[in-house]
Amino acid sequence: MGTEKLTERQGTTLEHLKHAQELGSTLRDYAVAFNLNVKDLYNGRSQLQRKGLWPRTRGTEQARPQLLAVQVKEPAAPEAQEAWACRLTAPGGWAIELRRIPEVSWLAALSAATGK
């Protein structure tokens, strides 16, 4: 079916589709740029596709996402943590765990601050 069987609206839509394609623009962006109703462009494109005057993109190789092969690996084992060298607990329920034994002056300051 040739373009001579198009309505005026379909002919206008075809021109807009060609122009958007030349610009490399999406229909949405094209409609915003030229102050057009994007729904009208999509509807017109569907009509033209049904008549075979505009290529369908859904289901074509170009429209399909590319699949990539992946290989799942076991996560690396976490590094062994050093053992705690010192654990301080208080009657109030708090606890401090340290990887090394603290300085005596620090322990004295902590004891003075907590009043114990």
- Taking the whole predicted model, whether its pTM rises above 0.85 is answered as no
More confident residue, 79 or 41: 41
Q: Which two tokens stand for residue 68?
A: 């990539």
Mean pLDDT score, 27-48: 93
**Ramachandran sector of residue 93 (left: φ over 0; alpha: ψ -120 to 50; beta: rest):** left
Mean pLDDT score, 20-35: 92
Instruction: For residue 42, count other CB atoms closer than 10 A to its CB.
Output: 14
Q: Which residues touch 31 (CB under 8 Å, ≥6 apart)?
A: 37, 38, 41
More confident residue, 18 or 79: 18
User: Does residue 95 surpass a pLDDT of 60?
Assistant: yes
